[in-house]
Amino acid sequence: MNTKIKTFIITAGLFFGTASAVFSQDRPAVQSLCDKPMEMMDSIPLMDMLLNESDILPAEDLYDNWSNDRVRFNAVLPDSFRVDLRGFTMPTTNTKITDVFGYRPRRRRTHNGIDVKVQKGDTIYAAFDGKVRITSYQRRGYGHYIVIRHNNGIETVYAHLSKKLVVQDQVVKSGQPIGLGGNTGRSTGSHLHFETLLMGKNINPELMFDFTSQRVTGDFYTYRKGVYQEYDKKTGKIVESAEKLYHKVRRGETLSVIARKCGVSVNTLYKLNKMNSRTVIRPGQMIRYR
């Protein structure tokens, strides 16, 4: 090889190598400008870069795989995540809630969603823009059900449907009819069982959707890890407290043993579980200790 060409290749390599290093060093500097007042950002290319960054859909940032099988899955959730609720559609125009989200000590299981009374054949709508991840049938559970992954990062489940109007991997718009209400699966009386999830973990739908008033709780909802959140309908605010924690009773354990293990007093257990000194606990039972 001619020495002149060789020198050119080396120089070019050095140049491009240095250029990309400078570019990657620049990126944090660009991001830090976000915190500074608007007048600081006077260059058009910079504004374009910032706008392009916000073009990335939250869902693309959160999830790195797409699977058509499981509704819930294990993933490491961010410490906090802001869900954009603008552009919502209420999944049903019905307003009567027949069951709320939460743990049921008597049945020793969690009700992962909210139940809203619907008539068989009532139209069920996609809550936000997104893509249908699952359409399936569970004879003893959800019946006919649909799971949608939305662009804003959350996933929604619509269960006990009489008919599905969408297919797996279909892109849907907020408000698009996706199914008809029904009574399929483990259900007594036609109703919509509706769930909201973030990265495979259930979140109380009432933190985002108020079926009674047919509105969302605000333009945004912020999920916070390790925090128990409740929507206060009176004030229209989300109230936060320490997350509720439960202990599963093992054979031979008494309330005082559990209290010691969980680092709380027996009285706390009495209060949280509406129990007293005469209450008999059984192995497998869930005892709330915080």
Q: Examine residue 117 and tell whether it contacts Zn ion (CB under 5 A).
A: no
The residue written with tokens 């259900």 in the block is 187
Smallest distance from Zn ion to CB 99, Å? 6
Nearer to Zn ion (CB atom), residue 115 or residue 206: 115
Residues in region 239-268 near Zn ion by CB under 5 A: none
Options 117, 133, 149, 193; binder of Zn ion; rule CB under 5 A: 193
In the bound state, the residue with its beta carbon closest to Zn ion is: 193
Nearer to Zn ion (CB atom), residue 113 or residue 205: 113
Smallest distance from Zn ion to CB 90, Å? 17
Say how far apart CA 187 and CA 161 lie, in whole Å: 10
Say how far apart CA 141 and CA 160 lie, in whole Å: 8
Cα→Cα distances 81→38, 199, 254, Å: 24, 11, 39
**What φ, ψ does residue 69 adopt, rounded to 5°?**
-100, -65
Number of residues forming the site for Zn ion (CB under 5 A): 3
Compute how many other C-beta atoms are within 10 angstroms of the C-beta atom of residue 51: 9
Options 115, 122, 195, 210; binder of Zn ion; rule CB under 5 A: 115
The residue written with tokens 């192995």 in the block is 283
In contact, 96 and 117? CB cutoff 8 Å: yes
Q: At what angle do helices 44-54 and 3-32 cross, to 10 degrees?
A: 70
Tokens of 56: 């990335």
Nearer to Zn ion (CB atom), residue 150 or residue 193: 193
Stretches 190-198, 225-233, 237-245, 266-274: which one binds Zn ion (CB under 5 A)?
A: 190-198
Smallest distance from Zn ion to CB 91, Å? 13
Smallest distance from Zn ion to CB 115, Å? 4
Nearer to Zn ion (CB atom), residue 186 or residue 260: 186
Say how far apart CA 20 and CA 210 lie, in whole Å: 49
Stretches 82-90, 114-122, 126-134, 245-253: which one binds Zn ion (CB under 5 A)?
A: 114-122
The residue written with tokens 């570019």 in the block is 23
Nearer to Zn ion (CB atom), residue 194 or residue 231: 194
Residue numbers of the site for Zn ion (CB under 5 A)?
113, 115, 193
